[in-house]
Structure 1
Amino acid sequence: MAKAHHHPETRDVQPRVLLAFGAGLLLFIALAAIGVKLIFNTAPTWLPLPANTNPENPGLQTAPKQDLAAFRAEEDRQLKTLGWVDRNAGIARIPIDDAMWAVVSHGLTDWSQQTAAATEPDNCALLTTAVPRAPQAESCRQQDGTGR
């Protein structure tokens, strides 16, 4: 018996077809990535960037201690001043010291037992002394007959 020479099988793998398939696959992946980027734009468009902001380096708070001090100063100013929260509804803001004095002198109102804040004489007294310019205080004065 003669020894047979073993040669590699060349019919199963064709290098040109393998290279063409690899190139086609890479082309498909690149086109798919471009298509996904065009269809599903992931850049946020709902938030405009400020003119001086670089998206690579977002602006950070430069003086946090001063910002906090200014914020607390504004809160303290609001706690110490008289002002309107909602003028049409007659909701006013009074200084915190005056509010504490009103609670100490007149006590807290039992809001669960009432339908309107300005119906009882005690509430009218509290309202006319604490927030004299509120529309509810005016209705208390008209009910009282004093008109002042």
Structure 2
Amino acid sequence: MAKANRHPETRDVQPRVLLAFGGGLLLFIALAAIGVKLIFNTAPTWLPLPTDTILEGPGLQAAPRQDLTAFRAEEDRQLKTLGWVDRNAGIARIPIDDAMWAVVSHGLPDWSRPTAAATEPDCALLTAAVPRAPQAQNCQQQRGAGR
């Protein structure tokens, strides 16, 4: 076997180009940091507080465990008693045990069947809520044609 002439690779990375790229990258990062600092000035603009001022902390709960216990007791009371949620709208609450018993004994309502209120829209209610809506005008026309 004949020995081949050995010489360095000529297609390798040139060190000057690599150093120039690294220097350019560092320069870009430095200029970007300076630009961000100038655009988004994050220095505080308020005046320092006088040293004789006593700082009070935020208004925290004095007794958080007792507050949580009282809150949960109020929730439990509401779940176990009858009461009005909105008397004018006719929305009431019933004890949760009674509600579960009603579902067990009567089952869930069939939501796929239209109710009487859904088949006969209340035009007065719709007109009062949104008087100039096209739905209100259509409702009144349908009610007038159905009579």
The answer to whether TM tops 0.5 is no
Q: TM-score by structure 2 length?
A: 0.40
Q: TM-score by structure 1 length?
A: 0.39
